[in-house]
Amino acid sequence: MDVAFIDCHCHISALEFVEDLDDVIKRTKEANVKALVAVTEYASDFERVIQLSKNYPDLVLPCFGIHPVQGTGQDRRSANIQDLEPVLPLFQKYRNDIIAVGEIGLDFTPWCAPTVQEREEQLMIFRRQLEVSKELALPVNVHSRSAAKVTIGTMKELGIRDALLHNFAGKPSVALEAVRAGYCLSFPPVISTNQQRVKLIRQIPLENICLETDCPALGPEKNVRNEPKNITLSCEHIARVKGIPSEMVADVTTQNALRLFPKLKRILKP
């Protein structure tokens, strides 16, 4: 397929890519992926994603954000304000480099945020980063799990106009609320094996859909590292669900991404 793709949400700075990143980037370009919107989760990701954008200036575009879930493995926990405060100056320092604020959002799954206090602190961190996005006139790249209505409601309340709800898995009625607010929703390759998303994807207008991989997670095979090259699987699945050519999905989603993330135009023309 001779079309261009934009991976609107990936973790190319993840440790899973350290040993063979050049090979991953080579396969990315061979798949005609023209841009990687590289989000962060932890404070430790910020400088690394900036460095990657310098190493691969024609491909990697960095975002800054503190994810609502911090830690790894058994140490995973709900985010607290101390996770955000030390890195707030970096948003200003690199305001000309970053193309969005993300990955930010809310995760109210019981194992992650079982108490009202934890949910309230997540909400405080989310609101603070939304305010940063407004100060810097940047779009937001958003995580929402078991919290879709609160996430969308908070963004609307704060007047957020440009947002990507990544790997959206909420109800179609809630998704349409996001559509009415002018937000985009994106879907990773794992949807090609998930029939529960079919109804959701069918109801969302193509003009509100972007493509993502969320790599190294959410690939087509469980427990196998996902890569940006797999974005073609998302495209093909959405095309099948909507009964339209995959070339149309690729073209429209790329235009959607360029509209949502204007700084993409540094490396890819409309």
Could you list the residues known to form a binding site for a divalent metal cation, using ranges. 9, 11, 103, 143, 166, 214
Q: Indicate the annotated binding residues.
A: 9, 11, 103, 143, 166, 214
The count of other CB atoms within 10 Å of the CB of residue 89 is 9
**Distance separating alpha carbons of residues 238 and 246, to the nearest angstrom:** 8
CB atoms within 10 A of CB 44: 10
Going by the DSSP 8-state scheme, the letter that residue 39 receives in this structure is: -
Nearest to 8 by CA among 142, 186, 252, 205: 186
DSSP 126-144: HHHHHHHHHHHT--EEEEE
Three-state SS annotation for 160-208: CCCEEEECCCCCHHHHHHHHHCCCEEEECHHHHHCHHHHHHHHHCCHHH
Q: What is the DSSP letter of 262?
A: G
Cα end-to-end distance, the chain, whole Å = 19
Total Cβ atoms within 10 A of residue 178: 26
Looking at residue 112, the DSSP 8-state letter turns out to be: T
